[in-house]
Each structure stands twice: as structure tokens, then as C-alpha cells.
Amino acid sequence: MTRSVDEQALVRTAHRVLPAGHFGNVASDLIIAEGRGGRVWDASGNEYIDYLLGSGPMFVGHAHPEVTEAVLAQVPKGTTFFANNEHGIRLAEAIVEAVPCAGQVRFVSSGTEADMYAMRAARAFRRRDRILKFEGGYHGMSDWGLMSLAPRHLANFPTPVPDSAGIPRSAREEVLVAPFNDLDAARALIAAHHDELGGVILEPFQRLIPPAPGFLQGIREVTAQYGIPLIFDEVVTGFRFAYGGAQSYYGVTPDLCTLGKIVGGGFPLAAIAGRADIMAHFDKAIVGEDGFLMQVGTLSGNPVAAAAGLATLSILRRPGAYEQVFARGRALMQGLEALIRQAGLPAQVVGEPPLFDVVFTAGEVRNYRDMLRADTAMQKHFNTQLRAAGILKGESKYYLSLAHTEEDVAQTLQAFAGAVAALPSKAG
């Protein structure tokens, strides 16, 4: 790709017309102009191996020809209808067939919406107001989701800490917080508050941290014991760890789940899926006026997004797709771990092959508070070195895609070696 725009002029314009100069995602100094397969180019023509992947949705790669073909076939027929369409119905059918907990599906346009409506559906079903979540878990931008995601000041459990200005004090009364991967503590909190809880929500794989053996199973058992709906936030993990999502990968079935990113094929589409008796609260004819959960969205089930999602899922159903992603992710994880050991750094690689990162700290990383020990300056320095070597990632994640090649893996491992060599000899 050749340079076609004045990138610095665009950056200056961004700072004039956008708060902080960006969309609220990555820093303002990066302007992406094009993506193909597992690579992107910025507005100055610099090429990167892309492990950001639009924050995850481009699991089959950028501009996949089959996804593009499906989108271009629909666009001349209309881009949105505010009514049922075949692609949306077929996508819902595919989700029900793939995801263990999915009896029915309701579409929205973002993961934030999906998480918000899943919590609301659980509360409507249970007729209780409070939600229990896990410290460090991300569940979108709603008032309830932005509790104890990344608290600057730690509180005693189960007290929530708001992560944003503008959240009403009353919202804090509706959320309880438990430590991730501490089954005894979570069980005790759920048992103590079971009659107040409308639902329990968690990421089965929390940001970068896998569940400890037996943790998800234990949460499933205690919520089932008290009849409390269990929600898996699979906006990130849905169709990424397995075709049936993390619930299939880890072998634990919740009552509800939320999906996004991959399921929209790079377009704004997300979903709530779950047991038919809970999903019935979206149907006034079944639950009546008092039990009805109103949900309307201008672009919900958008036919272009649904066409992209269907094409993406078709690609992922092919034999060997997940095996390829896992093999390449595993090669990167093992290669980075070996470089860290050779350098004698207090660091470790955390995650699963489709989604991982290095954490610069010694000792086991099981929860959010363990992550606070990480040397963030060392992490930033490492990421800066990788960016200079043509590796693009977020602050804390490598997303693997089906489009990443063996050549990409080899080039990335070479960049890892250079970045490790450039690190200070001692991490904090």
C-alpha cells in the first residue's frame, strides 16, 4: 500500500473534533487505512501483522472474500428494514444449533446492549434486582457492567467500585462483586445473598485469565441450587475457543449467554441467547404485561451484518479451522514463554492459544488483583518495541485469526526475540 493521505493532518483533525483525539479505543496516533487477511496498513503505508483484529471480531481475517461476497450480495437489496429478514433468521438458527445454552436468540447491535439485556432478562425471570459479577470482569458500558472492572481503589467483597463518572449511586446497590477463581468465596456470597440475586454474570475466560479447574462447574452448581440464572458473557469467547464457544470448550452450560464480535463478521451485531423460558420475557404474549421485557433496536438483526455473520460461521465450520488457530497461537505462546525464561524475566504468558498475552509479574495470575502486580511500564515498553517491528496489538491481548500464516508466526517470534532483548534487565 502506498501513502494516500497526510496522516499527521488527520491526527490533528481528530484532536480538534474528537474528545482525546480518538474514538475511545486505541491511541490517536494510529489511523488504519486498510486490512487484508491477517495484516493491516496505516494511513502512512506502514504494514503490520494484526493481532488487534478490530478488538477481536475479524477471526477469519480482514476482507475475507466469502464474507465480502455475502455482504455485497445483500447491499444492493437493502441495508436495513426494521423487520425480520432471512439472513437474521438463518443466523439465529445457526446460533441455536451451535451454542449449548441457546434455545432462542434476540439480536442487538453491541456487546454492551447484549450484556445489559441479559442481566435485565435474568432479573425479569427471577423477579430480583441484584446482579453478582466478578472483579475484573468486563460486561460492557452500562451502569451495572462498569462496576469493579478495573477499580483504582480496592474494596472489600462484595462492595462494588464504579469505573466511570456519571454512574448513579443507586446502581451500586444493585451489584455485588466476588473474586474470580475463588470458588469458596463466590459460593459463600451467592448463598448469603441468594434471595436477592436476579442473576450471576461472568466471563468464563476473564479478560486473559482462564478459569481454575472446577471453578465454572462450581458456580454452575451453586446457581442451579438456588435457581439463579447464570450468564456467560461470551462476547469475546463466542465462536473463538470452539464453535460452541467457551461453554463448549470448558464443558459448562449457563442459562443465558451473550455473543458479539465474531458472530457479526466485522459488522455491528450482537445477541442474547438462552433458555426458552427466560427468553420468553421478550414475548409479551407469553409472559404478559408485568413480565414483558421491552427491547427495540433500529439495527437489530441487520441483514448486512447477519449475512457477514453467516458467512463467517460457515468458514469456521470447516474441518481444521480451530485446529489451525490453536496450533499457531500455541506456537506463539510457547515461543514467547521460552524467550522470557531464557532472559530470566519475572514474566509469564497467560491465556489460551486464540487469546493471550505476556504479563510481567512473578507468581500465579488467577484474578484481577494478581494482575495488579504486573509491571505496566515494562508491558508498555515491550509493546512499543513490537509496534516498531511491525506487530500491532492492543495494550493487553493478542487475538489470533484463521488468516494468520506460518510466515506471520515466524516473523512475530523474531519480533518477540528483538523486543525481549531490548527490555531492561530487571522488571519491577
Show the DSSP H helices in 131-193 as ranges. 169-172, 183-193
143 among known catalytic residues:
no
Cα-based distances in Å from 354 to 51, 261, 400, 403: 10, 14, 5, 12
Residue 424 in grid coordinates: 531492561
Which of 217, 249, 240 minimizes the C-alpha distance to 230?
A: 217
399 among known catalytic residues:
no
Catalytic residue among 138, 322, 398, 399: 138
Which of 401, 352, 312, 315 minimizes the C-alpha distance to 59?
A: 401
117 among known catalytic residues:
no
Catalytic residue among 50, 182, 233, 255: 233
Cα-based distances in Å from 79 to 111, 113, 264, 267: 21, 21, 14, 12
Half-sphere exposure of 82 (CA within 13 A, CB side): 4
Half-sphere exposure of 271 (CA within 13 A, CB side): 33
CB atoms within 10 A of CB 184: 9
Half-sphere exposure of 362 (CA within 13 A, CB side): 7
Which of 235, 55, 59 minimizes the C-alpha distance to 140?
A: 235
List, as own/partner pairs, every contact residues 5-10 make where C-beta atoms lie below 8 angstroms and the sequence separation is at least 24, other chains included.
5/33, 5/43, 7/31, 7/42, 7/43, 7/44, 10/43
Q: Give me the active site residues, please.
A: 138, 233, 261
